[in-house]
């Protein structure tokens, strides 16, 4: 990710949602996590396109995809609970 602050904010939001659980509106939480999964897939495609266009190196691509995989795992787990 080119913006580590954005990644940190995403993780902080996920942690906060995990803490509050479904005490709020569960449908809002579900939508948030589903939207996050869509966003992750969109970013994954963009990073792969950037790699194909030689805008990022293979190590950079791997790092970006690893970060997105962590977000995807957290989002998927949260949707199942």
Contact at 8 Å (CB) between 56 and 64?
yes
Residue 3 pLDDT more than 90? Answer: no
Instruction: Return the ∠ at Cα 77 (arms to 63 and 50), rounded to 5°.
Output: 25
Instruction: Give percent of the chain above pLDDT 90.
Output: 48
Residue-wise pLDDT for 17-36, tens only, equals 766 665 567 788 888 889 99
Residue-wise pLDDT for 44-60, tens only, equals 999 999 999 999 999 99
């Amino acid at each position: 990710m080119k913006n580590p602050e954005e990644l940190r904010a995403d993780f902080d939001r996920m942690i906060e949602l995990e803490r509050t659980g479904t005490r709020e509106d569960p449908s809002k939480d579900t939508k948030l996590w589903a939207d996050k999964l869509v966003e992750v897939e969109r970013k994954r495609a963009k990073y792969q396109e950037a790699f194909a266009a030689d805008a990022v190196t293979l190590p950079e691509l791997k790092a970006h995809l690893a970060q997105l995989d962590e977000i995807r795992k957290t989002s998927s787990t949260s949707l199942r609970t």
